[in-house]
Structure 1
Amino acid sequence: MLTINEINVFYGNIQALKGVSLEVNEGEIVTLIGANGAGKSTLLKTVSGLLKPKQGTIEFQGKTIAGKAAQTIVKAGISHVPEGRRVFSNMSVEENLDLGAYLRKDHKAVAEDKERIFKIFPILLERRKQLSGTLSGGEQQMLAMGRAIMARPKLLLLDEPSMGLAPLMVKTIFHTIEEIRKEGTTILLVEQNAHMALSIADRAYVIETGHVVLSGLAKDLQEAEQVKAAYLGGL
């Protein structure tokens, strides 16, 4: 579904991604793990059109998307849930969800999808008229994910969905990621909680200082000594 080949991405003169290649197959959860500043979020921003690669190619369902405008990439079927949630705090929960569907014209299906979001996240139904800025961190993460799903993406990019959340909420969010995949959405997940990410992913890539240094089946990487030592606390 997604093929990234030898991309180089810069912030000014600083090279953030150095010849990164990876692929995501339809129906998979693929996770990127690595330390802060390794280039994980940069990669997601490049896929979603917020950054442009200096070299390399990105193809989505066989079509080139590298360097395309972000709204074109959303239309193609990619939604991005950025790090830090970024909900529209002065708008209600329901208004945030409606914004997620702003490119869609199928109003009946939009209403059905909103009801589906409320089934996945019942707390959002209770809070539907509440200003999103008054929600807890976990509720805001649910809203950010729900808003992205409202675009009916084929590929969902999730950037640090567990950041700053209580352990119980982290479990809820990861369970929901698995449910979203079961409903047919492919997921590329950036996550510092490597243990949780590897437990739900099919495959994983380890990124260090802008390079992919390791890749393979998630269950194999969970057992790799290099990964255990660096990201799983030596478990």
Structure 2
Amino acid sequence: MLEVKNIDVFYGNIQALKDVSVTVNEGEIVSLIGANGAGKSTLLKTLSGLLKPKSGSIEFLGSSIAGKAAQGIVKTGISHVPEGRRVFANLTVEENLELGAFLRKDKKGIAEDMQKVFETFPRLLERRKQLSGTLSGGEQQMLAMGRAIMAKPKLLLLDEPSMGLAPLMVKTIFQVIKDINAEGTTILLVEQNAHMALSIANRGYVIETGRVVLSGSAEELHSSEEIRKAYLGGH
């Protein structure tokens, strides 16, 4: 579904990604793990058109999207839930969700998907008329994910969905990621919590200082001594 080949990405003169190649197949959950500043978020931003690769290719469903404008990429079927949630604080929950569907014209489908988001996140239904800035961190994360779902993505890019959330909320969010995937959405997940990320993924990539240093099935990465020491706290 997604084929990233040998991309280099720079912030000014600083190279953030070096010769990175990543593949995501339809229906998978693929996790990117690595330390802070390794380049994981940079990769997601490049895929969603917020950054442009200097070289290399990015193909989504057989068409090149490298360097395409962000809204054009959303139209192809990629939605990005950025790190830090980025909900529109001065709009209500409902208005945020409507914005997620701004490129769609199918009124009936939009209403059905809104209903589905409220079924997935009952808390958002209770707060639908509330300003998003007044929600808790966990509720804002639900809203950010709900807003992305409203775009009806084929591929969902999730950047640090568990960051700053209470353990119980982390469990809820990860269950929802599994459910969204089971309903047919492919997921590329960046997650600090490597243990959780690998527990729901099919495959994973380890990124260190802008390079992919390891890849394999979630089981392989989970049982790798190197990964255990570096990212799983030695368990």
- TM-score bucket of the superposed structures, by smaller chain: over 0.9
What is the CA-CA distance between 1:217 and the residue it aligns to? 0.2
Indicate the residue corresponding to 1:180 in structure 2.
180
Per-residue CA shift, 1:100-133, capped at 9, x if unaligned?
Answer: 0000000111000000000000000000000000
TM-score between both structures, scaled by the size of structure 1:
1.00
| Whole-angstrom CA distance in 2 between matches of 1:48 and 1:218 | 24
- Secondary structure, counterpart of 1:103 in structure 2: coil
Matches within 5 A, 1:34-45: 34-45=34-45
| Whole-angstrom CA distance in 2 between matches of 1:171 and 1:231 | 19
- Secondary structure, counterpart of 1:8 in structure 2: strand
Matches within 5 A, 1:126-141: 126-141=126-141
| Whole-angstrom CA distance in 2 between matches of 1:218 and 1:97 | 32
What is the CA-CA distance between 1:220 and the residue it aligns to? 1.1
CA RMSD, aligned part only? 0.3
Runs of 4+ in 1 over 6 A off after TM superposition: none
Indicate the residue corresponding to 1:213 in structure 2.
213
Aligned AA (2:153): P
Per-residue CA shift, 1:132-179, capped at 9, x if unaligned?
Answer: 000000000000000000000000000000000000000000000000
Aligned AA (1:84): G
Count of paired positions: 235
| Whole-angstrom CA distance in 2 between matches of 1:87 and 1:30 | 25
| Whole-angstrom CA distance in 2 between matches of 1:196 and 1:14 | 31
Indicate the residue corresponding to 2:159 in structure 1.
159
Aligned AA (2:2): L
- Secondary structure, counterpart of 2:88 in structure 1: coil
| Whole-angstrom CA distance in 1 between matches of 2:193 and 2:45 | 20
What is the CA-CA distance between 1:182 and the residue it aligns to? 0.6
Aligned AA (2:186): T
Matched, 1:12 2:1: no
What is the CA-CA distance between 1:219 and the residue it aligns to? 1.1
| Whole-angstrom CA distance in 1 between matches of 2:5 and 2:93 | 38
TM-score between both structures, scaled by the size of structure 2:
1.00
| Whole-angstrom CA distance in 2 between matches of 1:28 and 1:118 | 24
- Secondary structure, counterpart of 2:41 in structure 1: helix
Aligned AA (1:112): E
| Whole-angstrom CA distance in 1 between matches of 2:226 and 2:18 | 21
Per-residue CA shift, 1:44-86, capped at 9, x if unaligned?
Answer: 0000000000000000000000000000000000000000000
| Whole-angstrom CA distance in 1 between matches of 2:46 and 2:131 | 31
- Identity among equivalent positions (%) equals 77
Matches within 5 A, 1:41-120: 41-120=41-120
- Secondary structure, counterpart of 1:58 in structure 2: strand
Which 5+ residue runs of structure 1 have no aligned equivalent?
none
